A and B are shown apart, each in its own frame.
Chain A
Amino acid sequence: EAGVAQSPRYKIIEKRQSVAFWCNPISGHATLYWYQQILGQGPKLLIQFQNNGVVDDSQLPKDRFSAERLKGVDSTLKIQPAKLEDSAVYLCASSLEDRVYEQYFGPGTRLTVT
């Protein structure tokens, strides 16, 4: 069974530029999550989708971050404009709708903002 796919794996941009990350969850997983993991810390949830609806985006900095999951499968996370403190690994995870506590994580996208 294929795991959670993410791209790109690495991205370097300058501050004030825009960037987008892509996530393809495990087939059949209705729930999708985006986490931000700053170096030396544990992941922090940014947003949770159930199919194409947002369940929780309380920790998403909405002035610069946006996410969508239009068809209930793939998702994109965008940062516009990026700040230095956005340098982190962005992890995508997915789970079955009735097993939301069992999240499977992708390899992440490492973002460096210079």
Chain B
Amino acid sequence: AQKVTQAQTEISVVEKEDVTLDCVYETRDTTYYLFWYKQPPSGELVFLIRRNSFDEQNEISGRYSWNFQKSTSSFNFTITASQVVDSAVYFCALSEAGSGAGSYQLTFGKGTKLSVIP
């Protein structure tokens, strides 16, 4: 069974500080996908990134960066120089490619609420 753990329930940082959101996953599949989504107060889930299990390269997109380490089953998300607009709930999610019959069930963690204080 697949499982995603986001141990940090809430984090508060002062604007311009860097912050890292942790994500640890469990899966028996060798082929899987990892995701990060942002959920602002408006409620919509906004797709941020997808990585497949065969690509351990770290990725940077502007102030966002992701560190994928299969050895520790972690997929951490860092925001550099945080801004007030980054305040949201961030979800890490996992999808096993072998879910069967085209099912692409996303298993989400419980989320980390990030508050960036001006």
Chain A residues with CB under 8 Å of chain B are: 3, 31, 40-45, 48, 50, 55-56, 89, 91, 93, 95, 100-108, 110
| Binary per-residue interface labels of chain B (78-118) against chain A in the complex, 1 for a CB within 8 Å, 0 otherwise | 00000000000001010100011111111111110000000
In the assembled complex, the CB of B86 is this many whole angstroms from the nearest CB of chain A, namely 19
In the assembled complex, the CB of B19 is this many whole angstroms from the nearest CB of chain A, namely 19
In the assembled complex, the CB of B47 is this many whole angstroms from the nearest CB of chain A, namely 6
Known contacts: A41-B110, A42-B111, A44-B108. The answer to whether A102 contacts B103 by CB under 8 A is no
| A residues less than 8 Å from B103 (CB atoms) | 48, 55-56
Q: Could you pull out 7 A-B pairs where Cβ atoms are within 8 angstroms?
A: A31-B104, A42-B4, A43-B91, A45-B106, A101-B104, A105-B44, A107-B43
CA distance A91 to B46 in the complex (A): 12
Whether the Cβ atoms of A43 and B44 lie closer than 8 Å is no
CA distance A40 to B113 in the complex (A): 10
Known contacts: A42-B110, A101-B95. The answer to whether A56 contacts B105 by CB under 8 A is yes
CA distance A108 to B92 in the complex (A): 19
| A residues less than 8 Å from B102 (CB atoms) | 50, 55, 100
Whether the Cβ atoms of B43 and A108 lie closer than 8 Å is yes
Whether the Cβ atoms of B47 and A48 lie closer than 8 Å is no
Whether the Cβ atoms of A42 and B91 lie closer than 8 Å is yes
CA distance A3 to B101 in the complex (A): 27
CB closest chain-B residue, reference A109: B43
| Interface assignment of B16: CB less than 8 Å from any CB of chain A | no
| B residues less than 8 Å from A56 (CB atoms) | 99-101, 103, 105
In the assembled complex, the CB of A89 is this many whole angstroms from the nearest CB of chain B, namely 6
Whether the Cβ atoms of A106 and B106 lie closer than 8 Å is no
Whether the Cβ atoms of A55 and B47 lie closer than 8 Å is no
| Interface assignment of B33: CB less than 8 Å from any CB of chain A | yes
CA distance A55 to B110 in the complex (A): 25
